[in-house]
Structure 1
Amino acid sequence: MKRLNYGKTFLLGFGFFGVSVIWMVYNSFVPLFLANKFQLDPRWIGFFMTLDNIAAFLIQPPVGAWSDRLRTPIGRRMPFILIGAPIGAIAFGLIPLANILPLFVACTSTLLVSMAFWRIPVIALMPDITPSRFRSQANGIINMMGGIGSIVATLIGGRLYDMSANHAYPFWMGSILVVLSALLVFIFIKEPKEYEETSEEERPDLWKAFMTVIRGEEKSALRILLAIFFWFVAYNAIEAFFTLYAQNHLGLEGGQGAQLLGQLSFVFVLFALPAGYIGGSLGRRRTILIGLVGMIVLMLLMYILPKATLIIPLAKVFGLGQMYMISILLMLAGASWAMINVNSLPMVVDMTDNVRIGTYTGLYYLFSTLAAIAGPNINGWIVALTHNNYSSIMIVGPIFMVLAMAMMLGVKRGEAKPQA
């Protein structure tokens, strides 16, 4: 009887750890550079913060299908990791050193392309080496490692940000960690040596998979992909502007705003593995719906409660920094987000066969990336239209979470497959 290999899954999680460090540092501090160093309007900041997702939208889905077809002595996923990770690390370390906008754009563009090149292959390794019935639990471990990366990026990165004049230390930390993470995955994770083969007409192809989802009589795959789009619109819109929200609405420093995100990530890490086991026992769809209700309530509270209430100081906690009333809401949001995020990818990849795992992982990231493009732009315009009222970002999220719930209510597939 097949079992979940915890050691191998934890080691694979280092790949997601490296990705998470890079993106959390990027999302936390690049908006501050754009506002404080280059004096960009919120609408331009919102657009700039979607460039990584535009690159991902164009690159990641076809790379996922390409990795399904690729055959090399080191595997079908590893070549992408070994090329993309070091290039991304170098570009990332140069971002804080760029003092003119064109050079800043050149560094970030190189980072975006290289990171998009290897993200889906490293994520697709999880279902490659994990039986269907354990994929929620394995994704819980992977997301826990990603959450640890987010904690490192925000709590440690938040302190490092204020320690240097050019704010370079968190970026250099991210560059080192992403290279080490990629090396650990390459050394310790061995891809399957044999793959299911198909005829030339049936080989994995992103467009064919997309049209199958659109035209199929049973719409569960389409519904969950639309739900993914809606809940990522809500989450990414808030994440991209949260440090500016903390600075302009709550009156906190940029580093403190990053630490608040770190408190959310801390609970996400603690709850990622339980969320996978809850999805395995209670059902993935039901677990996601519970998480969506939690996110809707908590974001509405952050919008409704007055600023003075949100920043009531509670206590200083070692490793987490100053705790405020909003910290409690963010921590509960971290648990709710884990229930959603941990169980969604396993639902998508269990709607196909092992031949097309990379392709369907690509579809997952196609819709989440479209959301990450739309979310910051929507919030950038809302902030500008409300005369830079950054609290307005907390009203967008519940609307899109409700739309996600409507889609999930019609999903009928995607639970764990019976074990062979």
Structure 2
Amino acid sequence: MARSQTSPLPKVMNIGTTEIAPKFGSQSELRPVSIWYMASIVAFSLGAQSVVFCSNQVLQNTLRDHFTKNEALIGFVMAFNALNMLWVTPFVAWKSDRIWTRFGRRRPIVMIAAPILALAVILTPHAPSLWIVILLVFTFQVAEDAEIAVVAPSVSDTVPDQQRQIAGAMMQFIPAIAIFVMGRYVMKLTDRAEHWPYTIAGLLVITTAIIYLAAMREHYVPPRANERFKLFNYGKEIFRLREYRLIYIVFLCQPLWVIVATQWFASLATQELHMTQSEYGSAWAYSGLVTLLVAIPLGYLCNMLGRRRMFALMGSMLVVVPLTYGIFWMKTATGIAVFAGMQSFCFNLFRMNFIPYVMRYTTPRNVATIFGFTSVMNGLVRFTMIPLAGFLIGLTGNYRIPLWGGYIGVIACVAAILAMRPPEKVRDEIARIDAEVASASQHD
């Protein structure tokens, strides 16, 4: 017979010289926050994005110049991030929904992952062999995927619904700083010493993690300490609402028109367009520059108008323009800059609206779990499509092949978003699911 179990009382937390007891997390209790707070709680994504930049734009040339010319093998190593997203992010996210420590439930993840991430990425360019590179890449991408697991949940935990499109814009703005700085300035340093992008990324990881840890205000949610990860129960939780399944389809297909489509642009620039890494970095930096210029104003505009679903659809459909341009007319460094700017605008419009839209289907008890599984979908398409693209590129020598897959991603994303019922129409169903989760947490 199952025995009932009461949730432990929240422990008093010391912050500076003031002692406070954490409050139970609830959207109705969340107060408006400043834009500076939003920037602080997503700050560590700047460090993580610096590592992503190294993985996507620098690592392939490091591998090709020093270890292997096999494009399929290079694609496989670059896809480690996607492989780890299949298990690291969902488990860490699931666990963070169920714990409570003296530091909260999200902060411990960053406290553990950040030092590992920084050390591994700094050591990568100094590796003496391909196997050591593979080990280091695997390690830092495990840590990176663990950190990513708490980005959206940190926003959902502490930012009220009426400000989330602004927070979504900040989730785009902060990483864009890394894209712009790394591409525009740090990539130039590779002509002097190849280690600089990795070294600077590692230092940014530590710095931004400290900012997050100092700023994050955790809201107490009763832990489920006795709950063990069981695949059947996990599957039941993440698939029980129809909208969850549609959300996963979006996250499965969206990388086709962002990450997969552009994963080989560094090779396209250096091999086909005969650009230096520095020239390519400067051109691709316009992706970050556009985000820096439009993210915050666009976020405020979208927040004022609402219409999250409509704007997410617009972002998905507009990306057809840069995809077509990239396939047929992108011939120079200027062309890469134009593509990067257009794609960045579309992705910003999509993500700053779709992420807050998805949050409306979640509760404090399952927000990380749901977003964690979106990473499985995201990682699955990356892990399969990036090596496949590398294989096709190796056969044909055409670095633009991945752009064609972007059209498939657009069609699937639009269809899935249109099929989602508005959150208001499933509010009772969401409340019932949350009540079932709360009830289950009281039993072994």
TM-score of the alignment, normalized to the shorter chain, above 0.5? yes
User: Which letter does structure 1 place at the counterpart of 2:203?
Assistant: I
- DSSP-derived class of the 2:419 partner: coil
* Residue 195 (structure 1) aligns with: 221
Per-residue deviation, 1:91: 0.7
User: Which letter does structure 1 place at the counterpart of 2:287?
Assistant: L
Q: Cα gap change, 1:407/1:123 in structure 2, threshold over 3 Å: closer, same or farther?
A: closer
Alignment partner of 1:406 is 2:435: no
- DSSP-derived class of the 2:247 partner: helix
* Partner Cα separation in structure 2 for residue 327 and residue 16 of structure 1: 23
* Residue 286 (structure 1) aligns with: 310
Q: Among 236, 260, 269, which residue is 2:292 paired with?
A: 269
User: Which letter does structure 2 place at the counterpart of 1:18?
Assistant: G
Alignment partner of 1:92 is 2:102: no
User: Which letter does structure 1 place at the counterpart of 2:172?
Assistant: N
Alignment partner of 1:258 is 2:281: yes
* Residue 227 (structure 1) aligns with: 250
User: Which letter does structure 2 place at the counterpart of 1:413?
Assistant: P
Q: Cα gap change, 1:215/1:195 in structure 2, threshold over 3 Å: closer, same or farther?
A: closer
User: Which letter does structure 2 place at the counterpart of 1:87?
Assistant: I
- DSSP-derived class of the 2:62 partner: helix
* Partner Cα separation in structure 1 for residue 310 and residue 234 of structure 2: 26
Q: Cα gap change, 1:12/1:245 in structure 2, threshold over 3 Å: closer, same or farther?
A: same
Q: Cα gap change, 1:252/1:296 in structure 2, threshold over 3 Å: closer, same or farther?
A: same
* Residue 373 (structure 2) aligns with: 363
Cα deviations by residue, 1:174-195 (Å, 9 ceiling, x for unpaired): 1111101111111222212x22
* Residue 318 (structure 1) aligns with: none
Q: Cα gap change, 1:134/1:59 in structure 2, threshold over 3 Å: closer, same or farther?
A: same
* Partner Cα separation in structure 2 for residue 150 and residue 19 of structure 1: 11
Cα deviations by residue, 1:270-291 (Å, 9 ceiling, x for unpaired): 2222343344324111111111
* Residue 241 (structure 1) aligns with: 264
* Partner Cα separation in structure 2 for residue 279 and residue 211 of structure 1: 34
In 2, are the aligned partners of 1:220 and 1:413 still within 8 Å (CA)?
no
Per-residue deviation, 1:212: 4.5
* Partner Cα separation in structure 2 for residue 405 and residue 266 of structure 1: 27
Per-residue deviation, 1:417: 11
Q: Cα gap change, 1:357/1:215 in structure 2, threshold over 3 Å: closer, same or farther?
A: closer
* Residue 433 (structure 2) aligns with: none
* Residue 206 (structure 2) aligns with: 179
* Partner Cα separation in structure 1 for residue 231 and residue 346 of structure 2: 31
In 1, are the aligned partners of 2:285 and 2:337 still within 8 Å (CA)?
no
User: Which letter does structure 2 place at the counterpart of 1:328?
Assistant: V
Alignment of 1:338-417 (within 5 A): 338-386=348-396, 388-414=397-423
* Residue 133 (structure 1) aligns with: 162
Alignment partner of 1:214 is 2:250: no
- DSSP-derived class of the 1:390 partner: coil
* Partner Cα separation in structure 2 for residue 33 and residue 112 of structure 1: 16
Count of aligned residue pairs for this structure pair: 397
* Residue 68 (structure 2) aligns with: 39
Percent identity over paired residues = 20
In 1, are the aligned partners of 2:38 and 2:170 still within 8 Å (CA)?
yes
User: Which letter does structure 2 place at the counterpart of 1:178?
Assistant: V
The alignment's TM-score, normalised by the length of structure 2, stands at 0.83
In 2, are the aligned partners of 1:350 and 1:417 still within 8 Å (CA)?
no
In 2, are the aligned partners of 1:285 and 1:415 still within 8 Å (CA)?
no
* Residue 159 (structure 1) aligns with: 188
In 1, are the aligned partners of 2:39 and 2:170 still within 8 Å (CA)?
yes
Greater mean alpha carbon deviation, residues 82-91 or residues 274-283: 274-283
Per-residue deviation, 1:257: 2.0
Cα deviations by residue, 1:30-82 (Å, 9 ceiling, x for unpaired): 01112221123211122111111111211110111101111111111111111
* Partner Cα separation in structure 2 for residue 304 and residue 233 of structure 1: 18
- DSSP-derived class of the 2:104 partner: coil
Q: Cα gap change, 1:375/1:277 in structure 2, threshold over 3 Å: closer, same or farther?
A: farther
* Partner Cα separation in structure 2 for residue 206 and residue 348 of structure 1: 23
User: Which letter does structure 2 place at the counterpart of 1:35?
Assistant: R
- DSSP-derived class of the 2:338 partner: helix
Unaligned runs of 5+ in 1: 312-322
- DSSP-derived class of the 1:355 partner: coil
Q: What is the alpha-carbon root mean square deviation over aligned residues?
A: 2.5
Cα deviations by residue, 1:360-417 (Å, 9 ceiling, x for unpaired): 221222222222223312321221232x111223222122222222222212235899
Per-residue deviation, 1:127: 0.9
Alignment partner of 1:117 is 2:141: no
The alignment's TM-score, normalised by the length of structure 1, stands at 0.87
In 1, are the aligned partners of 2:165 and 2:299 still within 8 Å (CA)?
yes
